[in-house]
Amino acid sequence: MLTTVNATRMELLHLRKRVALASRGHRLLSEKRDEISRQLIHIAKQIQPLRKKVEAELVETCRRFMLARASMEPEDIKAALEVPTKKFSLTVNLASIMNVKVPNLAKEIEGEIICYGFATTSGELDVALLALERAFNHLIELAEKEKQARLLATELTMTRRRVNVLEHVVIPELQETIRFIFDKLAEAERDNTSRLMKIADIIRA
């Protein structure tokens, strides 16, 4: 590669500008990498207790439904849950974390989750449905956090790669080329000075 470089002052100036630009890009990407890491750690700390809460709530919900099933006739459970009165919709809004688009989930819920009369149902079914409602709220929050973490982790990997390429490949190669051109120009300057000195000696003789 170095043998094909034009060893001129213009090329030297051009390469120095490229090094300055690459160094600035390296600094900005390093700052972005560090901030994404900080945000990722913050979200990860939220995910761990939230996941434990969701798992516990889902286990409790299943236990309550099993108790309700044991205390009611199957046809009564089917009839009670056949016509739901609670409506649910989910809106996905996008937020930006260090230029990474991450989702914010906004839920809209209307109506009551208990959609039946109490003549043929047990209290366990009421408790099971309310437990499901609580678990569902936390489940949406967990899904939002985990998606944000995955997107940030992907961006972090890409940013680290770019930082490493700039730090270990691009900038060192540019600096090596600059040293090569500088040495070539210095050598040409010495040769030129030597010729001038010989010419001066010939003139004086």
Give the model's pLDDT for residue 169: 94
What average pLDDT does range 109-113 have in this prediction?
74
User: Band of the pLDDT at 21, cuts 50, 70, 90?
Assistant: very high
Give the model's pLDDT for residue 176: 93
CATH architecture of the domain with range 2-193: Orthogonal Bundle (1.10)
Q: What is the pTM for the complete model shown?
A: 0.75
What average pLDDT does range 97-102 have in this prediction?
86
Give the model's pLDDT for residue 1: 52
**N-to-C CA span, the chain:** 45
Q: In the chain, where are the structural domains located?
A: 2-193
Contacting residues for 109 by C-beta, under 8 A, at least 6 apart: 86, 87, 88
Give the model's pLDDT for residue 2: 55
Q: For the packed helices 9-71 and 123-165, what is the interaxial angle rounded to 10 degrees? A: 170
Q: Is the pLDDT of residue 19 over 90?
A: yes
User: Could you tell me the maximum CA-CA distance found in the chain, to the nearest angstrom?
Assistant: 128
Q: What average pLDDT does the structure give for the chain?
A: 86
